[in-house]
């Protein structure tokens, strides 16, 4: 393989196909010789695949709040008012609204991602409002799958405020049920509280690169 | 910086550890951090009634994958390729670095942003890129601290665990300006303020850099999906904003099916940061949202580890670092003493297997443990680290004096009569044993008294008194 | 019940009082205690320091010596754990061409290798389940927690790593201590943390070993106990050596010695 000038003329897909092709066979051969004769290794799945939970919504709200996210649990009729009040408290006027977000949740002056907002433009808005694909009660996790009302991954990353609306029927008790509901072909973002770090003396501090404020509205 | 080569030629572990033990600031920082995380881990592990079953499944899924690694790697390659990604195979560090450098050059860029990755540290990617005129910017807060401080990582999960908040503030104030946006004038040592400084320093970099390099926590053979767990959002920035993403991943990071994540997304966060779930997990399959995607599969000694029937269990490791946080030796010696990007108990079994035991540091690592077993107990994939340590001790070359001593001891223990004679000799000479012993045994008497040697051994007492009857 | 005392080489040589206490205690509880004279060492030091062949030879000797007893009792969690955890492993990994432990007692010529290997594995499988740490034997096999002891002192208990994480003794030792009349048991902070002994670790990594022990000694002193008790004299030798060097005034005692104490003995 040649080292190449700053711009390698070959298509990127071909890089590494020289020695790499040999390495592929070499690695596979080494693996086969290393495990030759080893017994098969069966897998026992005796863990809980659908944890019992009496109050899944309550547990979800409690666990999300544990990450120091702001959580509201409201009836469907109160959702729009809760969203507006949250925005007012946050001082957020210009929110990005992805395609497919139910109209009653959208703010009065939505910022659309069409044409695609640049990263700099995303950095300049007040926040983003989305729905989600799945909520996990035991871990207080929200999963976005870039589906309707969620948009591409950068939308919930660059802005500093993320307001997320979760429907009660999207909440499952534990991780196994969530994995079963999700489609691996879609890009997924699992969110558990606001951006945080444990890098300073191993204590959790909220707010590094992702949204520093995560506000969750659970609609019963 | 933290290149793989940097550590070679280091003195053996006992020497490094002895220096670390004298550093009271380091010991204070390590103690505070490891005890904090221990408590958090115990609490969230205790919450799950099926932890033992998850642990068993985690172990078995990994063992199963390793048993059929060839088949699953081929399946992964097919799935990633079908989803528009490109797969490259690298036998060793040099080849992996070459592939990444060429991929970056093909884009015409001269800088990359990086998500924290053990694999790229292991192969010394940053240094290799530097030699090609490409600057790699670390974006994880702790890696940033290490990079700015021209330091080495000392922990798998929290590479700057050896630094406290006051030291981090100093590093930011002195070094940030050299690498980009300077630290704010009035920076305090409040963790929140330090995190904010990192946010501001890195934001413009994220918004402008076109190539990113990452590792991955898991790869799913069935679907071709890669998975990255992180906390700060720097990972999401690197994975989503740049036009080209290059992921360098050890071949052992594979899981057979999508479903297997239900086990590991419970085991890993609780074992690593002691949280029910880490703030952000990203999964992507092939080229996503218009991005160009390259996967570099890395061997670099892993197939050698796989060939060792006892040692191969180290390849189950999911890099949670629970073993470091509970290890009494790590707590006193710190991560640098292990002379590897993989410190602590897992490093003590992984490094000598990946690098061999020719150097003084690598030959000393299997002995960097009192075999207390706390690591095995904490390991979410049940790696019996003490078993592997003992196994590796049997393979390293021993000093001649020790070999002779051990042979002599074995000879004495071969016959009870010999043991009895040695005991009687000791009993007669007991008054002449000095308080401070010479040679290697001075290591004992430097800090401890030797026990009083009895006039009569148990066996002589038994024989003299007929087991106490006379 | 025919009970063999596995004294361990450390106790035999340096702590005969512990062995005498075990004999006193077990006889009081009605056991017929025997001391197989041919015993030497379980091989732990050799195996854990990286000399598996010597260890395997000593293991072969051990299973020869202790075959045929109803129970084998060791006043050492560490040596009991060695036998229980590492012997099956040694048997599994016996190289096919290496002669297995010849009967050292019988001497004689070694039979064919394969035959020998099988016999080592078989003897391990037969004997190992009968090997117990003292507290395990008292609580699980004899079914007693009140052994009729009297010891009017303030005591703290260090559970030792191999008792705790190797044998999973749990609260068996402290259940025994709580039944001792006059004894005040005070909890030891950080009890489950290693004291830093670790066999040859103490001399191969003296700085870390001493630092670990310093913290253990600090915790022991903080309890205000007169006596530090454990089920392993090797750990006690290490902690006790530091306690003495620092002139703390805290005594070390093996669990067996406390359990053997009675009012009559005073």
At A35-49, the pLDDT tens digits run 999 999 999 999 999
pLDDT of residue A14: 59
The answer to whether the Cβ–Cβ distance between A202 and B306 falls below 8 Å is: no
Write out pLDDT tens, residues B101-125.
999 999 999 999 999 899 999 999 9
Q: CA of B404: which chain C residue's CA is closest? A: C51
| Tokens 């208990």 belong to residue | C157
End-to-end CA separation in angstroms for chain B: 72
Per-residue pLDDT band at C109 (split at 50, 70, 90): very low
Alpha-helical (H) ranges within B225-316 are 234-240, 261-272, 302-306
Which region among A46-55, B46-55, C150-159 has the lowest average model confidence (pLDDT)?
A: A46-55
Residues spanned by CATH 3.40.50.10420 within chain B? Answer: 48-300
- Residue B80: its pLDDT value, please? 98
pLDDT per residue as tens digits for the range A150-175 = 999 999 999 999 999 999 999 999 99
Q: Cβ B329–C203 below 8 Å, yes or no?
A: no
Instruction: Tell me which chain A residues have a C-beta less than 8 angstroms from the C-beta of B157.
Output: 198
CATH of residue C82: 3.40.50
- List C residues 120-159 in contact with B (Cβ-Cβ < 8 A): none
Residue of A nearest to B65 (CA): A41
In the Cβ-directed half-sphere of C24, how many Cα atoms lie within 13 Å? 18
Task: Say yes or no to pLDDT of B247 above 70.
Answer: yes
Note down the domain range covering C219: 145-265
Of 3.20.20.70, 3.40.80.10, 1.10.274.10, 3.40.50.10420, the CATH number of A56-219 is: 3.40.50.10420
The residue ranges of every structural domain in chain A are 56-219
Residue C112: pLDDT band (50, 70, 90) is: very low
State the average pLDDT over residues C192-211: 96
Both structure tokens of B257: 């099916």
Nearest to C238 among B21, B414, B448 (CB): B448
Round to whole Å and give the CA distance between B159 and A199.
8
Mutate to test the interface with B, among C5, C10, C12 (most CBs of B within 10 A): C12
C57 and C173 co-located in one domain: no
Query: A touches which chains (3+ CB pairs under 8 A)?
Result: B
Q: pTM for this one?
A: 0.94
The pLDDT confidence band at residue C107, using thresholds 50, 70 and 90, is very low
Instruction: Looking at the structure, tell me whether residues C124 and C9 fall in a common domain.
Output: yes
Segment B96-100 mean pLDDT? 98
- Cα of B351 to nearest chain C Cα, Å: 18
Question: What band does A19 get if pLDDT is binned at 50, 70 and 90?
Answer: low
- Phi-psi category of residue B405: left, alpha or beta, with phi > 0 → left and psi -120 to 50 → alpha: alpha
Task: Report yes or no: B238 and B114 within 8 Å, Cβ to Cβ.
Answer: yes
- Chain C interface test: which of B337, B361, B451 (most C C-beta within 10 Å): B451
Same domain, C190 and C247: yes
| Same domain, yes or no: C90 and C208 | no
Are B449 and C245 in contact (CB < 8 Å)? yes
Per the CB < 8 Å rule, is B236 touching A153?
yes
| Distance of alpha carbon B163 from alpha carbon B30, whole angstroms | 8
The whole-number pLDDT of residue C223 equals: 98
How many CA within 13 A on the CB side of residue A35?
Answer: 23
Q: Looking at residue C115, what is its pLDDT?
A: 44
What integer is the mean pLDDT of A79-106?
Answer: 96
Look at residues C117, C136, C155 and tell me which one is the last residue of a structural domain. C136
Give chain B positions within 8 Å (CB) of A162: none
| H or E element, residue A143 | strand A141-144
Residue range B387-416: mean pLDDT, rounded: 96
Please state, for a pLDDT cut of 70, what percent of chain C lies above it: 91
pLDDT at C99 over 80: no
Min distance C7 CA to chain B CA atoms (Å)? 8
Interface membership of B275 toward A (CB under 8 Å) = yes
Average pLDDT, chain B: 95
Number of other residues whose CB lies within 10 A of the CB of residue C67: 14
Question: What is the predicted pLDDT for the residue at B1?
Answer: 36
| Maximal C-alpha separation, chain A | 67
pLDDT digits (tens, 9 = 90+) for B188-205: 999 999 999 999 999 989
Mean pLDDT of A120-143: 97
The count of structural domains within chain C is 2
Of B120, B43, B63, B42, residue with least CA distance to B263: B63
The last residue of a domain, from among C118, C136, C154 = C136
Within 8 A by CB and 6+ apart from A183, the residues are A145
CB B114 within 8 A of CB B128: no
Q: Is the pLDDT of residue A4 over 60?
A: no
The residues that bridge with A191 in the sheet, in sequence order, are: A142, B280
Closest to B47 in 3D by CA, of B195, B269, B228: B269
For residue range B190-243, list pLDDT tens digits in order. 999 999 999 999 998 999 999 999 999 999 999 999 999 999 999 999 999 999
pLDDT of residue C117: 61
State the average pLDDT for chain A: 91
pLDDT band at A105 (very low <50, low <70, confident <90, very high): very high
Residue A21 has a pLDDT of 77
Structure tokens at B69: 């690694």
Please state whether at least 3 CB pairs lie below 8 Å between chains A and C: no
Q: Which residue of A has its CA nearest to B56?
A: A44
Question: CA C63 to CA C57: how far, in whole Å?
Answer: 10
Q: What is the DSSP letter of B254?
A: E
Measured distance CA(B110)–CA(B74) in Å, rounded:
32
| Distance (Å, whole) CA B465 – CA A74 | 84
Residues 6+ apart with CB under 8 A from A17: B88
The answer on C154 and C118 residing in a single domain is no
Residues C6 and C129 in one domain: yes
pLDDT at C111 over 50: no
Task: Give C1's pLDDT tier (boundaries 50, 70, 90).
Answer: confident
What is the arithmetic mean of pLDDT over B65-77? 98
pLDDT-derived band at B441 (thresholds 50, 70, 90) equals confident
Interface contact A196-B279, CB threshold 8 A: yes
- Whether A191 and chain B come into contact, CB under 8 Å, resolves to yes
Would you identify the CATH topology of the domain B48-300?
Rossmann fold (3.40.50)
Look at residue C94 and tell me whether its pLDDT is greater than 80.
Answer: no
Both C127 and C183 in a single domain?
A: no
Query: C132 and C12: one domain?
Result: yes
Helix-then-strand count for chain C, H and E: 14, 8
Position B144 pLDDT exceeds 50: yes
- Paired residues of A127 in beta bridges: A95
Closest partner CB to C54 (pick from B410, B446, B468): B410
Same-domain pairing of C126 and C16: yes
Residues B328, B378: Cα–Cα separation, whole Å: 13
pLDDT for A132 beyond 60: yes
Query: What residues of chain C lie within 8 A of the CB of B398, using their CB?
Result: 50-51
CA of B452: which chain C residue's CA is closest?
Answer: C14
Of the partner residues B329, B371, B450, the one whose CB lies closest to the CB of residue C48: B371
Which residue, C136, C160, C177, sits at the end of a domain?
A: C136
Subunit contact B370:C201, Cβ cutoff 8 A: yes
Beta-carbon separation of B413 and C58 below 8 A? yes
How far off is chain A from B16, nearest CA to CA, in Å?
Answer: 23
Angle of helix C206-222 relative to helix B13-22, nearest 10 degrees, comes to 40
| Chosen from B236, B242, B296, B310 to mutate, greatest number of chain A CBs within 10 A | B236
- Look at residue C264 in the predicted model and tell me its pLDDT: 73
Flag whether residue A36 sits within 8 Å of chain B, measured between CB atoms. Answer: no
Give the whole-number percent of chain A exceeding pLDDT 70.
Answer: 91
* Mean of pLDDT over chain C: 91
**The sheet that has A134-136: what strands, in order across it?**
A171-172, A134-136, A141-144, A188-191, B280-285, B225-230, B218-220, B254-255
C-alpha distance from B70 to closest chain A C-alpha (Å) = 5
Same domain for C152 and C261? Answer: yes
Query: How far from the centroid of its chain's Cα atoms is residue C14's Cα?
Result: 14
Query: Does C96 share its domain with C126?
Result: yes
pLDDT beyond 80 at C104: no
Cα B55 to Cα A46: distance, rounded to the nearest angstrom: 10
Q: What is the mean pLDDT of residues C26-51?
A: 97
- Rounded to an integer, the average pLDDT of B45-51 is 97
pLDDT, residue B431, reads: 86
Taking CA–CA distances from B419, the nearest residue in chain C reads: C40
- Looking at residue A10, its pLDDT comes to 53
Quick: pLDDT tens for C163-175. Answer: 999 999 999 999 9
**Residue in chain B lying closest to C197 (CA):** B370
The enclosing H or E element of C240 equals: helix C233-245
User: Which residue in chain C has the smallest CA separation from B390?
Assistant: C48
- Say if B266 is an interface residue toward chain A (CB within 8 Å): yes
Residue ranges in B291-380 assigned as alpha helix (H): 302-306, 322-326, 328-333, 344-355, 360-364, 374-378
- Say what the pLDDT of residue A1 is: 36
Q: How far apart are CA C253 and CA C245, in angstroms?
A: 17
Measured between beta carbons, the chain C residues lying within 8 angstroms of B396 are 50
Strand partners, B245: B212, B293
């Amino acid at each position: 393989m040649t080292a190449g000038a700053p711009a390698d003329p070959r298509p990127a897909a071909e890089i590494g196909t020289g020695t790499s092709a040999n390495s592929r066979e070499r690695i596979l051969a080494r693996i086969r010789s290393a495990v030759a004769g080893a017994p098969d290794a069966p897998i026992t799945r005796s863990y809980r695949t659908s944890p019992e939970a009496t109050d899944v919504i309550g547990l979800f709200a409690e666990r999300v709040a544990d990450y120091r996210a702001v959580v509201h649990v409201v009836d469907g009729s109160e959702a729009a008012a809760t969203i507006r009040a949250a925005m007012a408290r946050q001082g957020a006027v210009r929110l990005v609204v992805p395609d497919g977000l139910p109209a009653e949740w959208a703010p009065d002056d939505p910022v659309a991602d069409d044409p695609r907002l640049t990263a700099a433009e995303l950095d300049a808005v007040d926040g983003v409002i989305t729905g989600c694909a799945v909520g996990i009660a035991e871990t207080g996790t929200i999963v976005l799958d870039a589906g309707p009302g969620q948009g591409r991954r950068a939308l919930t990353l660059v802005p500093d405020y993320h307001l997320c609306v979760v429907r009660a029927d999207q909440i499952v008790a534990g991780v196994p049920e969530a994995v079963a509901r999700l489609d691996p072909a879609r890009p997924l973002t699992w969110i558990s509280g606001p951006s945080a770090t444990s890098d300073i003396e191993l204590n959790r501090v909220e707010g590094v690169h992702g949204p520093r404020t995560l506000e969750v509205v659970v609609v019963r | 910086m933290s290149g793989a080569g940097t550590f070679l030629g280091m003195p053996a572990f006992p020497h490094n550890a002895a220096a670390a033990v004298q550093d009271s600031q380091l010991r204070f920082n390590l103690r505070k951090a490891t005890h904090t995380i221990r408590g958090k881990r115990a609490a969230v592990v205790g919450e799950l009634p099926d932890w033992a079953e998850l642990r068993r499944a985690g172990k078995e899924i990994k063992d199963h994958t390793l048993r059929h690694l060839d088949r699953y790697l081929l399946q992964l390659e097919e799935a990633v390729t079908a989803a528009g990604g490109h797969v490259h195979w690298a036998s060793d560090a040099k080849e992996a670095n070459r592939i990444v450098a060429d991929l970056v050059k093909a884009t015409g860029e001269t800088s990359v942003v990086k998500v924290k990755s053990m694999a790229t540290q292991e192969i010394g990617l940053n240094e290799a890129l530097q030699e090609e005129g490409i600057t790699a910017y670390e974006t994880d807060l702790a890696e940033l601290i290490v990079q700015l401080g021209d330091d080495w990582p000392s922990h798998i999960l929290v590479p700057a665990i050896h630094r406290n908040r006051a030291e981090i503030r100093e590093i930011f104030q002195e070094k940030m300006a050299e690498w980009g946006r300077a630290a704010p004038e009035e920076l305090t040592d409040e963790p929140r303020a330090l995190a904010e400084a990192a946010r501001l320093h890195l934001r413009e970099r994220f918004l402008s850099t076109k190539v990113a390099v990452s590792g991955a926590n898991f790869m799913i053979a069935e679907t071709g999906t890669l998975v990255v767990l992180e906390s700060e959002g720097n990972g999401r920035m690197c994975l989503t904003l740049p036009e080209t993403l290059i992921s360098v991943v050890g071949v052992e990071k594979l899981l057979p099916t999508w479903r297997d994540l239900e086990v590991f997304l419970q085991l890993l966060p609780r074992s690593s940061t002691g949280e029910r779930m880490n703030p952000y997990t990203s999964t992507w399959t092939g080229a996503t949202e218009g991005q160009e995607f390259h996967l570099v599969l890395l061997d670099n000694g892993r197939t050698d580890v796989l060939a060792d029937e006892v040692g191969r269990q180290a390849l189950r490791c999911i890099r949670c670092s629970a073993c470091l946080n509970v290890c009494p030796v790590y707590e006193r010696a710190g991560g640098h003493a292990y002379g590897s990007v993989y410190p602590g108990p897992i490093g003590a079994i992984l490094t000598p297997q990946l690098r061999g035991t020719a150097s003084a540091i690598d030959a000393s690592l299997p002995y960097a443990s009192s075999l207390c077993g706390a690591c095995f107990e904490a390991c979410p994939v049940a790696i019996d680290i003490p078993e592997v340590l003992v196994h590796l001790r049997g393979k390293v070359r021993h000093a001649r004096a020790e070999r002779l001593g051990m042979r002599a001891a074995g000879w004495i223990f071969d016959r009870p009569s010999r043991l009895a004679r040695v005991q009687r000799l000791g009993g007669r000479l007991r008054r002449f044993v000095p308080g401070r012993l010479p040679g290697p045994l001075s290591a004992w008497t430097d800090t401890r008294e030797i026990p009083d040697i009895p006039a009569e051994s148990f066996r002589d007492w038994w024989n003299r008194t007929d087991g106490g009857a006379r | 019940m025919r009970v063999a005392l596995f004294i361990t080489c450390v106790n035999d040589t340096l702590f005969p009082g512990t062995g005498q206490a075990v004999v006193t205690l077990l006889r009081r509880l009605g056991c017929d205690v025997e001391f197989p004279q041919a015993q030497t060492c379980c091989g732990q030091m050799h195996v854990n320091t990286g000399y598996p062949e010597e260890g395997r030879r000593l293991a072969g000797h051990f299973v020869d010596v202790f075959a045929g007893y109803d129970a084998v009792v060791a006043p050492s969690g560490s040596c009991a754990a060695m036998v229980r955890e590492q012997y099956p492993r040694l048997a599994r990994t016996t190289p096919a061409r290496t002669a297995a432990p010849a009967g050292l007692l019988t001497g004689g010529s070694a039979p064919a290798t394969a035959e020998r290997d099988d016999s080592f594995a078989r003897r391990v499988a037969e004997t190992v389940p009968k090997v117990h740490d003292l507290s395990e034997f008292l609580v699980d096999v004899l079914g007693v927690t009140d052994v009729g002891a009297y010891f009017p002192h303030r005591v703290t208990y260090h559970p030792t790593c191999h008792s705790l994480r190797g044998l999973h003794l749990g609260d068996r030792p402290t259940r025994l201590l709580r039944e001792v009349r006059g004894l005040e048991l005070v909890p030891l902070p950080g009890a489950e943390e290693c004291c830093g002994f670790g066999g040859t670790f103490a001399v191969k990594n003296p700085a870390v070993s001493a630092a670990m022990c310093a913290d253990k000694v600090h915790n022991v002193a903080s309890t205000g106990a007169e006596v530090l008790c454990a089920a392993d004299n090797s750990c006690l030798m290490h902690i006790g050596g530091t306690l003495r060097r620092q002139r703390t005034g805290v005594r070390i005692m093996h669990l067996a010695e406390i359990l053997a104490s009675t009012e009559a003995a005073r």
